[in-house]
Amino acid sequence: MDPYLSIVIPIYNEEENIPVLWERLSGVMAEHFADPAKPWEIVFTDDGSRDRSLAMLMDIARAEPRVKVVEFNRNYGQHSAIFGAFAEVRGQVVVTLDADLQNPPEEIPKLVAKVEEGYDVVGGWRQGRQENDSFLRTMPSKIVNAITRRTTGVKLHDYGCMLRAYSRDVVDAMLLCKERSSFIPALANSFAKRITEVPVAHAERAAGESKYGLWKLINLQFDLLTSFSLLPLQMLSVFGVLTAAFGFLLFIGLVVYRFMHPEGTAQGVFTLFAILFFFVGCQFIAFGLLGEYIGRIYQEVRDRPRYMVKKVHQAK
Ligand code: UDP
Ligand code: MG
């Protein structure tokens, strides 16, 4: 029988956290998901850990047949690791969470209940966010959240929280996307009809260090910006139009000035500026136009499914 609930956990050098994680997680599973009609599975992805993480996961898997371990040959990053597990899961409800116990496993039943209510994507919204990580880690994620809200158009409070639940349909749709760089929460939202957030507790990282430095975050932000909107390219045209218009108006202004003050001194430099602005503007409009084509090519090669049929209804 296929599992009903699948838990996905990416692991990268988490040897200090795995024992406690497993203890708490298996406790939650035993307590809340004991119904034999709704079997569960847990899929860990070992994202190229260099410590004892893999060996520890294998030990767990040997003792518990409902645990699967996907081993990557090297480190590909958290989102790839989650995708690697998505390809393996078979549950109707899929929950992702971090291994560092920042996302308490005890919150899983809440998320699952929301999916059962009919939501396709349920995001965790971290309450009382406390980070042992520095200002350098919290500040960027605030910016990430703000920009994501703009670029994806979905108003969630917390895009960074990876304690999330998805319906089977959304996971299937994501698996059909062939793009390399993807930000799972935003991608999931683009395939969901009903999206909601539930407040979840948020703890400090139990042990080890955050695997995200400033650089990885900036990278993630670029992934997000470029894979969900053509806005940066379109801004080129907007900038071009504004500059050209400014040049043109300056030119008109100069002509008018000339007629009103025929005896005035020559405005040669200003005229040159007007012409310069106009042509620079035209260039940017041309860039924007090129960008528009490139953007479309990019959208084509990504090969995301255009739509997903949930069901075809017809009277028997
Ligand atoms: N992770 C991963 N591959 C990576 C980086 C992180 O699988 O290259 C995992 C990591 O083991 C953890 C989760 O992704 O389970 C979140 O990582 P981390 O806690 O470092 O991120 P933060 O909480 O600082 O955003
Ligand atoms: Mg963390």
Reported confidence tier of residue 43, pLDDT bands at 50, 70, 90: very high
Mean pLDDT lowest among 152-156, 160-164, 221-225: 152-156
With a cut of 60, say whether residue 132 has pLDDT above it. no
**The pLDDT value given to residue 271:** 86
By the CB criterion, residues less than 5 angstroms from ion ligand 2 are: 98, 100, 102, 205
User: Residue 48 CA: which ligand 1 atom is closest?
Assistant: 3
Give nearest CA residue, ligand 1 atom 19.
210
Q: What would the two tokens of residue 137 be?
A: 């880690």
> Same structural domain for residues 111 and 250?
no
> Same structural domain for residues 184 and 51?
yes
* Number of domains present in the structure of the chain: 2
3-state secondary structure (DSSP) of residue 266 = coil
**The pLDDT value given to residue 248:** 93
Contact 163, 124 (CB under 8 A): yes
Highest mean pLDDT among 173-187, 280-294, 295-309: 280-294
User: Residue 12 CA: which ligand 1 atom is closest?
Assistant: 11
**The pLDDT value given to residue 134:** 66
> Same structural domain for residues 243 and 130?
no
| Region 14-43 average pLDDT | 93
Give nearest CA residue, ligand 1 atom 16.
98
Task: Decide if 217 is inside a domain.
Answer: no
Q: Is 80 in the pocket of ligand 1 (CB under 6 A)?
A: no
Q: Is 210 in the pocket of ligand 1 (CB under 6 A)?
A: yes
Domain region containing 271 = 231-302
Q: Is 140 in the pocket of ligand 1 (CB under 6 A)?
A: no
Give nearest CA residue, ligand 1 atom 25.
212
Reported confidence tier of residue 44, pLDDT bands at 50, 70, 90: very high
Angstrom CA distances, 9 to 190, 204, 234, stand at: 22, 18, 37
Higher pLDDT, 266 or 108: 108
pLDDT digits over 253-292, tens only?
988 888 888 776 667 788 888 999 999 999 999 999 999 9
Reported confidence tier of residue 308, pLDDT bands at 50, 70, 90: confident
User: Residue 47 CA: which ligand 1 atom is closest?
Assistant: 7
**The pLDDT value given to residue 112:** 95
Q: Is 15 in the pocket of ligand 1 (CB under 6 A)?
A: no
| Region 244-254 average pLDDT | 92
Ligand 1 pocket test target in 25, 78, 103 with most atoms within 8 Å of CB: 78
> Same structural domain for residues 192 and 297?
no
* pTM assigned to the model: 0.80
Side chain identity at residue 26, one-letter code: S
**The pLDDT value given to residue 130:** 56
| Region 212-234 average pLDDT | 80
**The pLDDT value given to residue 131:** 52
**The pLDDT value given to residue 31:** 92
Q: What would the two tokens of residue 87 be?
A: 């390809």
Contact 121, 170 (CB under 8 A): yes
Q: Helix count (H) and strand count (E) of the chain?
A: 10, 7
CA angle 66, 70, 72 (to 5 degrees): 170
Contacts of 241 (CB under 8 A, 6+ apart): 281, 285
> Same structural domain for residues 309 and 295?
no
| Region 234-257 average pLDDT | 92
Residue-by-residue DSSP string for 141-185: HHHHHHHHHHHH----S-SS---EEEEHHHHHHHHT---SS--HH
| Cβ-based neighbour number of residue 279 at 10 Å | 13
pLDDT digits over 284-301, tens only?
999 999 999 998 898 888
> Same structural domain for residues 189 and 288?
no
Helix (H) or strand (E) holding 44: strand 40-46
> Same structural domain for residues 39 and 163?
yes
**Sheet of 195-200, strands arranged across:** 67-71, 40-46, 5-11, 93-96, 164-167, 121-126, 195-200
| Region 140-159 average pLDDT | 73
> Same structural domain for residues 277 and 191?
no
User: Residue 97 CA: which ligand 1 atom is closest?
Assistant: 15
Q: Tokens 């349920």 correspond to what residue?
A: 122
Contact 102, 158 (CB under 8 A): no
With a cut of 90, say whether residue 83 has pLDDT above it. yes
CA angle 182, 184, 186 (to 5 degrees): 95
Task: Decide if 64 is inside a domain.
Answer: yes
Give nearest CA residue, ligand 1 atom 24.
210
| Region 80-99 average pLDDT | 94
| CATH at residue 199 | 3.90.550.10
